[in-house]
A and B are shown apart, each in its own frame.
Chain A
Amino acid sequence: MTAKIIDGNAVARHVRSEWKKRVDVLKAHGITPGLAVVIVGNNPASRLYVRNKVKACAEVGLHSETHEFPADTDEAPIIQRIAELNRNPAIHGILVQLPLPPQLETRHLLGAIAIDKDVDGFHLYNVGGLVVGENNIFPPCTPYGVQCLLEYEHIPIEGQNVVVVGASNIVGKPMALMLMAKDATVSICHIKTRDLAQYTILADILIVAAGCPGLITAPMVKRGAAVIDVGINRLPDGRLAGDVDFDSVKEKASYITPVPGGVGPMTVTMLICNTVAAAERYAAKNAEKIPASA
């Protein structure tokens, strides 16, 4: 058996084209979804990520703006800018690009974003909504993208054994909570797990987000499993690789995501989805103020 390789770029294109229709509906009602990105300092990786987000916004027809601050900026002016963006009716989504310079407390800045504009889903209120299983929140983009890939490929989740490797705050734990809400049995493994293979071999769906190239090899994978590789590691020779030994595991899995070109393209796509959803909620709340047209 050779796995179906899930083409994240193709799924992302499809999802974006579907959401573009929703953008068109909003525009017909006079609302252009708007995303504001706050970036502090000159981290080249952060700048690249922000450029990709801005580009994706343009493709789907969203307004976007970046708010740049020098690396040595204090908390106060950034919080003030976030407060202005919270009040700005043309902005429906706000994100603070991470990581931040060391003088800034990430929690303070993320906590300053209005919960109904928190499209990265990092505000504690939105994160707590994941624990409760609330639907009307913004799921964090990477696990949301994984869930979207599973659903796009019609991979069943309910009643399935899911193993998440990696217990990070922004991928592993939210992913586990989202799949529990879909009635999966979820195990969360991490660096302290003593016998990783004992768990991974149970998995109908194996999601790996550990940042450790080659961590998952074929003997650790149940035959016919769907394997989602969230890891992105730069190897000494410059190549990008995931956490899964792709060549051997694809002979055993039923589905597998490549790296690059798997989960990666979905993350920015889900940011766009969350921003459009925020604009739709804004429109629903302010329906009486918005002139009906088209």
Chain B
Amino acid sequence: MTATLLDGAAIARQVYAQLKQRIHLLHSRGVQPGLAAILVGENSASRIYLKNKAQACHDIGVHSEILRFAADCTEDQVFATLQNLNADPRIHGILVQLPLPSHLNSGRILQAIAPAKDVDGFNWVNLGAMVAGHTLLAPCTPLGVMTMLDYARVPIEGRSAVVVGRSAIVGKPLALMLIARGATVSVCSSKTADLRQYTSMADILVVAVGNPGLVDGSMIKPGAVVIDVGINRLPGGKLVGDVDFASASRVASRITPVPGGVGRMTVAMLLENTVTAAERSVGMD
């Protein structure tokens, strides 16, 4: 068997096309969706990420603004700005670009974003709502994984899903989203005694660890759908995921490439969350 590629770029294009229609409807109601991003310091990777997000906003008709703070700013300065943004009717989504300088408590700062505008989905109220089964705004990467599964019409209910990696921004929220859709979910980590025992049961296998080649074809159930969230740069400069693509693609029915898979979905989901938040702000959801 040779797996079909789950093409993140192509799915993201479809997501953007749908979003444009929703934004058009919002414009016709006099609402311009708005995203505000907070950037602290001069981290060059962060600047590139934010530039990409701003460009994507521009391309589909979402207002965006970046609020810059010096690397040595105080938490109170950030809080004050967040309070203004929380109250600003032109802004429907707020994100704080991570990582923050070490003197700032990112946990506390993320909690200061109003849950209804928390388009990264990191606020505890939004994470808690996922456990309670009424997700409001979900973190972008797991939301992107779910969107890919849905675009590819992968059945979820009653299927065995295995999530390798149990971070608070990918693994655990994704597990909750899969449970909400009726999958039986196992969450593995570096402490799992026999990873193969789990991965070989999975109809849907999602790997989000940051460990190149952790999962190879021999660990995968024939016909499984394999989603690789990992992005690792090898010493030679090449980007690879956590799954050994060459062997896995011979066993899986569908598989995401790295790059060009899940990574392409994350920004699209940020914009989707922003549009959703804008729709809710005027009762259009």
Contacts and interface: CB of A to CB of B under 8 A. Distances in A.
Interface of A: 107, 123-134, 158-161, 167, 169, 173-174, 176-177, 180, 183-190, 192-194, 198-199, 202
B278 interface: no
Nearest to B181: A192
A177 B158 CA distance: 21
Contact of A131 (B111, B172, B191): B172
A192 B184 contact: yes
B132 A169 contact: yes
Interface residues of B, number: 38
Interface string B171-195: 0110110010011111111011100
Contacts of A189: 184
B129 interface: yes
Contacts of B184: 187-190, 192-194, 199
Contact of A128 (B125, B134, B158, B166): B125
A130 B129 CA distance: 11
A177 B172 contact: yes
Closest 8 CB pairs of A and B: A128-B124, A127-B128, A124-B128, A128-B128, A128-B127, A187-B186, A131-B127, A192-B182
B130 A125 contact: no
Given A176-B187, A185-B192, A128 B131 contact: yes
Contacts of A193: 158, 184
B41 to A, nearest CB: 24
Contacts of A185: 186-189, 191-193, 198
Nearest to B184: A193
B157 interface: yes
B132 A127 contact: yes
13 contacts: A124-B124, A124-B132, A128-B127, A129-B124, A131-B172, A167-B179, A169-B131, A185-B186, A187-B184, A188-B184, A188-B186, A190-B179, A192-B158
A156 to B, nearest CB: 11
A183 B131 contact: no
A278 to B, nearest CB: 17
Nearest to A128: B124
Contacts of A161: 193
Q: Which of B111, B125, B158 has the most CB of A within 10 A?
A: B125
B66 interface: no
B207 to A, nearest CB: 14
B197 interface: yes
Contacts of A187: 184-187, 198
B133 A169 contact: yes
B126 A128 contact: yes
Interface string B145-170: 00000000000011010000010100
B185 A124 contact: no
Contacts of B198: 185, 187
B123 interface: yes
A192 B111 CA distance: 34
Given A190-B184, A193-B158, A130 B175 contact: no
A183 B189 contact: yes
Contact of A188 (B126, B166, B185): B185
A192 B134 CA distance: 19
A188 B282 CA distance: 37
Contact of B130 (A131, A133, A194): A131
